[in-house]
Amino acid sequence: MPTTVEDLRRFKHERRRFVMLTAYDCLLARAFDEAGVPLILVGDTLGIFALGHETTIPVTMDDMVHHCRAVSRSVGDALVVGDLPFGSYHESLAQGIHNAVRLVKEGGVAMVKLEGPEHELIEAISSKGVPVMGHLGLTPQSFHAMGGHRVQARTEAAVAELVDAALRLEAAGACSMVIEGVPTEAARRVTEAVDVPTIGIGAGPHCDGQVLVGPEMLGLSTGRRPKFAKPYADLATAAVVAAKSFADDVDSGSYPDAEHSYDWAIKAG
């Protein structure tokens, strides 16, 4: 059965832990959907994991619509969430509403996600019938303002601000919220304070759900990983081995063999 916004609230009330994974193309989206993943996020992290940028900041609305459309047309049961990228909602409420509607109408998503304490914008988007997922704590679009990817809410005052921001997001109409890069205790307090589900990433075990970046979870990414990015496979190594094996077979002449060739007789005329 397709996952709905109401299912997310039910998951929290039933204390049913759930997952969300990011995907940027039809192949990963189909695999995650087949695995029963209830939420698939087309994150602006596609800038890093699909487009080769160092941060999420260069990602455009056209990028997001393109990838959201690929994922949305490829799943059956998962609820697809699309990120509003940096610069797509900062100028005005009208700009944010327009781009949120665009992700739904053109990208085919069922929910949009945006970073920071954007209470007015969440209320405005929600009033147009578009479900919204908030995002607090470490917000990657604020990479430069935060001085890089640093753990947030490390003091009592900062934790109190985080809880207040979460309550305000909920009051504005957020259906759920990502809590990223905060101490375990801070995430626990937020999760207990709000009635909507929290989804943690680098926020400890007390959130209602957990999210990982799909390519990191699959071990497809290379280089330094965040502490929380646990790989459940090593597909990067598998891909290298497979490519080398293919190259060796071609070099030796063992590929293509009869099994992988069309040895049909050519008819005269």
Q: What letter would DSSP give residue 78?
A: S
- Is it true that the peptide bond before 197 is cis, omega within 30 degrees of 0? no
Contact 20, 37 (CB under 8 A): yes
Catalytic residue positions, numbered = 180
User: What 3-state DSSP class applies to 192?
Assistant: helix
C-alpha–C-alpha distance, residues 196 and 208, integer Å: 9
Q: Which structure tokens are listed for 246?
A: 């293919």
User: What 3-state DSSP class applies to 11?
Assistant: helix
Residue 21: closest CA among 9, 10, 34, 11: 34
